[in-house]
Chain A
């Protein structure tokens, strides 16, 4: 007897499984149209590689993922592509998405298949690639691409491979019936996955409410090392984390994946898909779907081509439309309601419940939480649902996160037991959504702040550099001023009158000379004989003129240099400006000469 562990919480909802296990799996046949959504699992959507009006063969690839994580989509039968358009797809929001619509021609003509007789002779990567090309993604839950899941990170060795046949949700019997009727194919698929992963232990877990399935699997597993383990019925034992706990006593670390503790779970349907892909060369084009609920007369399981509209399956199961009140895709605990039966079966569709109003009645109005704690007793993740609810309702998401909001698996056990009819899971989804939005906004805000800070730093740096240059210039100017002052004193001591106009002209001259001197390396500047005249009486005005003139020249100089370095268009223009400046200098020189005639020449200037 294999040792089993228990997980916390859990509930025992009414099973409603017998109604769909009394009939064998039926083939649903060819509907008028097949609708194949381009996105059938998490990851990147596929892109259509066929055009409208094109004839395709059964098993032909019609959409492929070129960028990102994803697997191709295949034509489930031969026929003509009618359209590639946005149609309602299976999604809780009831949204439309891109779908390829295929009109079957009834011939069911296969394309070339490439079965692999002995996969053991091949490289594992080749087998994984075949699995990818067969379009296989997990058929139990979120539909993670199987080839990626089967190749865990290099440092993660999978020591326990679990085939999840627990099927703990009420109503659903797709895995149960598959195990009863197709146990050999399941074992073949499991063997392929085991060959890829080389685990030490390979377990098929089945809840004890499915004795027929367990017996069939035990028989099929005879002579292999595969263990068939019957686990106690308790929802949600089929949850990946709970099943791992039951079988190994270990827990998947929060935020981690099962491979972190050397475990991998695969679904029963996925095993069959792998077996067919490798051994028969058949891509994933069909799956078993449970059609049940009190609004159908003949509930049971159907093997349906992917893309089969749900209304087609419902009519085959004898839908009594007047009775139908709620249409649930998936189980009654985690499934979502559909607003139309026109949506197609996809790779992850396991069950459709056509429920009457008595069967799944509308919820009672929400009452106040009395903190009775029944939710905490039921929670399989050992959370405090009522506290999470309180914080979610109050918008205190930080506190909700602190109480491990994101460990919630949304199994619905808390809402199920809540005596006040509080839709707890809905509150957690809302809180998670809000936290994700906040995180996205935070990220955006952080980036914006970084950008702003970088800009501020740059501006500040430029300002400092400018300030530094200004100080240098001021210093130079002050030195010149001091010199002139000394000269002026000298001149004043000589008792000579000063012609103001001449003095100004002289100062301009001096400034220009200084400019030329400062920019001596530039070829287009011309050194002038800088001759100074008598000092100016209006010191501040002269100083200002001097600074302005100098900065103007600096700017012009640097602009010209930049322009030359970058081979910009405005080089000519700048050169003209410099030439103009030369003229000004000339004129100033002439004025200086005139002024000289009137005033006493002063000492030589600025070298």
Chain B
């Protein structure tokens, strides 16, 4: 979850030694959320080794194994702890692999938004004038529309613009782009605000006086000072980005069933809700909620911990 980890390791180490670690230990909610997130992260990262089956290996699927309920059900089988879907895919393995994809897209989208947002924010805040006005006006207009709508639209347009045969191969990249582009304004606005503050400080003046270039001043002097708020917003946006990806996949414009994310699994399972095979939907849904909830709880805690004024 290094969505927006500060460039300088020194800063992170300092935080850790200081009030932040203390506040973390004092908050049972944050500790519980962190533990939950760690379990999910390890499960996802080590999916090929911990998952009982490989859901991407179509050859291993057996239709005889389809629609098996979870293990505690009378008809459950111990080799499929959370049951199977209509193709005979193990739900647990599907979730582990799906969370992995969801996380890759979520983190990728946030990183993309952070990079675009920081660049635009630094530029707008430092250059000012017309550049600032144009960039911020674009951000404002985009903010008028909910992120999900932007992501859906960008995804639709990019997919339509790509040749048919590249759709599946580039889907992950397309999703990262579409979701990332829908979250950049928040970062740009925050960075711009901080940049405006920092620009007036004496050390920036001093750097100018000794003749450093604008780019160098922005990267080495201003950037480190705006990373705190970016980190907080990045964490909270990560939860939103994962939900957005799941929503797009659920709507059928995200990842295809051949490489399913959690959202795709929920979409597949949704078709079988009425025939009583609830586990196909509920378990992936539960995994999604736990993932997002733990990220949101950590983000909430982080925001309060880094911003004592809010208490």
Q: Is the pairing of A and B real?
A: no
- A residues contacting B by CB (< 8 A) are none
- B residues contacting A by CB (< 8 A) are none
